Amino acid sequence: MIVAQEKPLDEIRRMMDRYERVLLLGCGTCMTVCGAGGEREVSYLHEALRVAQARGGNGTHTFSEYTVKRQCDPEFVELLVDRVGDVDAVLSLGCGIGVQAIAERFPDIPVLPGVNTSFMGMSKEQGVWDERCAACGDCRLEQTAGICPITRCTKGILNGPCAGTKNGKCEANKDMDCAWVLIYQRLERQGQLEKMRRYYPPRNFRTIARPKRIVSKANIDAGGDDA
């Protein structure tokens, strides 16, 4: 899932300074699960903005709040037409994709980002998220025992550990495991160290050129991505 962090309140207030009526728009999928921009966070933010406004400062605003099932999905974005029609700006607590999906649907309405989209990851424990995938478009987890060196090695190198690893940790961060130590240990346990002895050539950054687009096979068969 996509993991994000709420932006600081001061930054949010500066962004919305010039807009009177602002819709605080949460997202019911990833942002709800990672606790950065679901219904609960929209409600907290609404309250925090009201309190900050009451204490004086930059302008007066009228806030409304709503949380849509998925901001990245046109089917759900369409349901926002009436709400967005009544405001001067939308503060989206969706990920960067959500912000842009709303912006693309409503060309005349400024859409402001309320969170910093951070990575694709998994929950390690309550409130702790770890990055696991860099969406490189060329998955090599079979070669690396299910541990991604592109994501988990700070240099994203493909042919084994650098010399900076110490106590099994990364030179960039003493609390972070060295991905290549983990890969070695897991390949060894599975009797597959020959995979690490192989040479892996440089990455092909054109695997899917940026910005990436995937057209599902069903759509191609039906005659194009508009089908």
Interaction between residue 197 and other proteins (CB under 8 A): yes
Distance CA 193, CA 202 (A): 20
Determine the 3-state secondary structure of 199 from DSSP: coil
**From candidates 168, 192, 222, 227, binder to other proteins by CB under 8 A:** 168
Is residue 25 within the footprint of other proteins (CB under 8 A)?
Answer: no
Q: Is 56 in the site for other proteins (CB under 8 A)?
A: no
Tell me the H-state helices in the chain: 9-16, 30-33, 39-54, 74-77, 81-85, 96-105, 149-152, 179-189, 194-197, 217-221
Pick the piece of the chain touching other proteins (CB under 8 A) from 8-16, 34-42, 75-83, 190-198. 190-198
Residue 100 binds to other proteins (criterion: CB under 8 A): no
Give 121: exposed, middle or buried? Use CB within 10 Å, 0-12, 13-18, 19+.
middle
Pairing of strands 62-68, 21-27: parallel
Residue of 163, 209, 214, 218 interacting with other proteins (CB under 8 A): 163
Q: Minimal CA–CA distance to 19: which of 72, 91, 73?
A: 91
Candidates 202, 211, 223, 224: give the one binding other proteins (CB under 8 A): 202
- Inter-CA distances, 56 with 4, 23, 37, Å: 29, 20, 25
Given a contact cutoff of 8 angstroms between Cβ atoms, the answer to whether 178 and 170 are in contact is: yes
Considering only the stretches 12-20, 41-49, 105-113, 188-196, report the one whose residues sit in contact with other proteins under the rule CB under 8 A: 188-196
Binding test (CB under 8 A) with other proteins, winner from 27, 80, 89, 158: 158
Query: Which residues from 136-155 bind other proteins, rule CB under 8 A?
Result: 154-155
Interface segment toward other proteins; rule CB under 8 A; list 7-15, 134-142, 167-175, 208-216: 167-175
Residues binding other proteins (CB under 8 A):
154-168, 170-173, 180-181, 184, 188, 193, 196-197, 199, 201-203, 205
